Structure 1
Amino acid sequence: MSATPVHPSGPALRIRWRQTVASARAAVGPHAAAPHLAHPDPDPYADDLLGRWSEPQRRYHTVDHLLAVLDRVDELAEHADDADAVRFAAWFHDAVYRPDRSENEERSAHLAERALPELGIDQALTAEVARLVRLTVGHDPAPGDWNGEVLCDADLAVLAGSPEDYAAYAAAVREEYGFVPDDAFREGRAAVLRQLLELPQLFRTPYGRDHWEPVARRNLTTELGLLGTASEGR
């Protein structure tokens, strides 16, 4: 397991992790194995995850992002079929992250599939968590996928930040891709922004549509315009 990272929210996040593990274990009853085979302590798993979220290559996908997504999941929890599954998926959804790799979500899902059964989480919940993690590749949950809608809305809620917060988010994304030349980054980022703006809706939960959609579209449009201005000013 990774060493415990130094982060102001670390202790509070460990408590939230323990609460989610306890809730998920209670939902399936006592451990089915022999009495002497107790569940492992959840804290080392939290420390491992927090260590991953604290890796030096991260600028946006950090513990702060994890905390923000968990907070938004709590805000939207009543919309989910299984809030514990969504909370676990938030913890794992970018647990493996390399900005120059394309299989981050798949590797993160595999990590969940290994770790959760060790913690005493049943097969059905583990499978749902892994499915949700993989869903963050495209953030396109099917109609009626309440868990997927909550996770995807929570992950994209950063798009609806204040102008200052959104600018900090965009700058952090650029830092993560610091190895990409400016022209290539602007082209790729602009394509992502256009793809988002072309979606019929960015957010699927009623709360997300009502509270985040207009602000997010304004922020995306502003960033796209700034990228165009920067390109023209070369």
Structure 2
Amino acid sequence: MDLIDRWRTALRDAACTSDAVDGAGEALLDRWREPHRRYHTLAHLATMLSIVESAAAPVRLAVWYHDAVYDPHALGDANERASAALASAELAALGLPAPLVAEVHRLVLLTATHAAEPGDGNGALLCDADLAILASPPADYDAYAAAVREEYAHVPEDAFRAGRAAVLSHLLALPTLYRLHPEWEEPARANLARELAVLRPS
């Protein structure tokens, strides 16, 4: 199933009957194809969609929107807030029920912290999928880290190291990185610690 078919399926499962589904999907795909992206690309989208393939429609739709707005110059959680706002506006325009739209909005915002609360199955699955790359083999992880650095090529090296180290430290401080895929925990923490040691040499 190609990406636009996955989009159509998610909207159909959300009981969407709008004739604007394909146009909205193609516009989203264009966002994911933006030339400044190196890691937050269609490949990241496809990987996440594969992980959440059997999930409820709000989770799949949150995957589509969670990095729909991605500006490496943005500060704090500005990208997540803008992506959540985009999701709310577009899904409402497609006629989806307000509670479903609100859940997608909540889930997209959650990707700013990846701190899903106990009992939040939708949030846990989305966060696990978003962080799956951290548990990849070391060579794949290093390629991911290099791609992120390319996205932030405008940031001086010292500033990037400090900011990236803060992100890694935040992730390592989480009680658990994965609520639904505990087998990913050990390799992910090893990769994070290895990169952090390079950023902060003793």
- AA in 2 matched with 1:195: H
Tell me how far apart the structure 1 counterparts of residues 113 and 162 of structure 2 sit (CA, whole Å).
19
- Aligned-pair distance for 1:137? 1.1
Tell me how far apart the structure 1 counterparts of residues 188 and 7 of structure 2 sit (CA, whole Å).
29
Who is 1:47 aligned against?
26
Report the number of matched residues.
Answer: 200
Q: Does 1:223 align with 2:195?
A: yes
- Aligned-pair distance for 1:68? 1.1
Match 2:124 to one of 149, 157, 170:
149
Segments ≥4 residues shifted beyond 3 Å: none
- Aligned-pair distance for 1:117? 2.0
Who is 1:160 aligned against?
135
Is residue 59–residue 126 contact of structure 2 (8 Å, CA) maintained in 1? Answer: yes
- Aligned-pair distance for 1:74? 2.3
Q: Using the TM superposition, name which of 46-55 and 194-203 deviates more.
A: 194-203
Is residue 197–residue 220 contact of structure 1 (8 Å, CA) maintained in 2? Answer: yes
Describe the superposition over 1:34-82 as per-residue Cα deviations: whole angstroms up to 9, x where unpaired: xxxx62231111100000011112111111111111112127x3xxxxx
Who is 1:195 aligned against?
170
- Equivalent residues in 2 for 1:117-128, closer than 5 Å: 117-128=92-103
Aligned CA-pair RMSD: 1.6
Who is 2:67 aligned against?
94
Match 1:17 to one of 7, 25, 32:
7
* Identical counterparts, % of pairs: 53
Q: Does 1:65 align with 2:65?
A: no
Who is 1:139 aligned against?
114
- AA in 1 matched with 2:131: L
Q: Which runs of 5+ in 1 are unaligned?
A: 1-10, 27-37, 78-82
Tell me how far apart the structure 2 counterparts of residues 123 and 40 of structure 1 sit (CA, whole Å).
19
Is residue 40–residue 118 contact of structure 1 (8 Å, CA) maintained in 2? Answer: no
Tell me how far apart the structure 2 counterparts of residues 129 and 142 of structure 1 sit (CA, whole Å).
16
Is residue 25–residue 120 contact of structure 1 (8 Å, CA) maintained in 2? Answer: no
Is residue 172–residue 192 contact of structure 2 (8 Å, CA) maintained in 1? Answer: yes
Tell me how far apart the structure 2 counterparts of residues 149 and 48 of structure 1 sit (CA, whole Å).
27
- Aligned-pair distance for 1:118? 2.1
Q: Which runs of 5+ in 2 are unaligned?
A: none
Is residue 99–residue 176 contact of structure 1 (8 Å, CA) maintained in 2? Answer: yes
Who is 2:57 aligned against?
84
- AA in 2 matched with 1:135: L
- AA in 2 matched with 1:169: Y
- Aligned-pair distance for 1:196? 1.4
Tell me how far apart the structure 2 counterparts of residues 100 and 73 of structure 1 sit (CA, whole Å).
29
- Aligned-pair distance for 1:175? 0.4
Describe the superposition over 1:197-226 as per-residue Cα deviations: whole angstroms up to 9, x where unpaired: 122211112xx11x2101101111111122
- AA in 1 matched with 2:46: L
TM-score by length of 2: 0.94
TM-score by length of 1: 0.81
- Aligned-pair distance for 1:152? 0.7
